[in-house]
Homo-oligomer: A and B are copies of this chain.
Amino acid sequence: MVERRKPIWVKEATEKIMEWKKRGEIEWVSIDDCDSRFLAEPLIADHDVPPFDRSPYDGFAIRSCDTLLASSKNPVQFEVVDEIGAGQVSIKQLQEFQAIRIMTGAAIPKGADSVIMLELVKEETSFDKKIITIKRKVNARENISFQGEDTKKGEVLLEQGTIINPGVKALLATFGYHKVPVAKKPVIGVIATGSELLRVDEPLVPGKIRNSNGYMIESQIIRAGASIKKYENCADNLESLLTTVKSALKECDIIITTGGVSVGDFDYLPEIYIKIGAEVLFNKIAMRPGSVTTVAQCDNKLLYGLSGNPSSCYVGFELYVRPIIRYWLYSNKPFLRKTTATLIKDFPKPNPFTRFVRSKLGYDNGSLFVEPVGLDKPNVVTSIAWADCLMVLPGGTKGYKTGDLVDILLLEDQAGSDESWKERQKSSR
Q: Given the known A-B contacts A2-B119, A379-B56, A415-B388, are A89 and B206 also in contact in the complex, defined by CB atoms under 8 Å?
A: yes
Which residues from B are CB-within-8-Å of A19? none
In residues 299-354 of chain A, which contact B (Cβ within 8 Å)?
Answer: 308-310, 314, 339-342
Whether a CB of chain B sits under 8 angstroms from the CB of A290 is no
Q: Given the known A-B contacts A176-B200, A385-B168, A412-B413, are A150 and B263 also in contact in the complex, defined by CB atoms under 8 Å?
A: no
B223/A165 in contact, CB under 8 A: yes
Which residues from B are CB-within-8-Å of A413? 412
In residues 375-395 of chain A, which contact B (Cβ within 8 Å)?
Answer: 378-388
Whether a CB of chain B sits under 8 angstroms from the CB of A47 is yes
Which residues from B are CB-within-8-Å of A310? 170
Secondary structure call for the A interface: loop
Q: Give the complex CA separation of A222 and B35 in angstroms.
A: 8
B195/A88 in contact, CB under 8 A: yes
Which residues from B are CB-within-8-Å of A412? 165, 413-415
Q: Give the complex CA separation of A281 and B368 in angstroms.
A: 38
What is the total number of copies of this protein in its complex?
2
Whether a CB of chain B sits under 8 angstroms from the CB of A172 is yes
B262/A216 in contact, CB under 8 A: no
Q: A104-B262, A170-B215, A170-B384 are in contact. List 8 more A-B contacts (CB 8 A).
A: A87-B196, A87-B197, A89-B206, A104-B309, A107-B206, A118-B263, A169-B216, A170-B212
Q: Given the known A-B contacts A87-B194, A208-B87, A413-B412, are A382 and B150 also in contact in the complex, defined by CB atoms under 8 Å?
A: yes
Which residues from B are CB-within-8-Å of A218? 32, 169
Which residues from B are CB-within-8-Å of A177? 200
| Interface size of A in residues (CB-CB distance below 8 Å) | 115
Mark each residue of chain A from 66 to 104: 1 if its CB lies under 8 Å from any CB of chain B, else 0: 000000000000000001011111000000000001011
B176/A201 in contact, CB under 8 A: yes
Which residues from B are CB-within-8-Å of A31? 200, 215
Whether a CB of chain B sits under 8 angstroms from the CB of A65 is no
User: How far apart are A420's CB and chain B's nearest CB, in angstroms?
Assistant: 16
For this complex, 24 residue pairs linking A to B, each with C-beta atoms less than 8 Å apart, are A1-B123, A47-B204, A49-B381, A50-B209, A56-B379, A58-B263, A58-B264, A85-B236, A87-B194, A87-B197, A105-B209, A105-B308, A106-B196, A162-B385, A165-B223, A167-B216, A167-B386, A170-B219, A170-B310, A171-B385, A174-B209, A178-B201, A366-B405, A367-B367
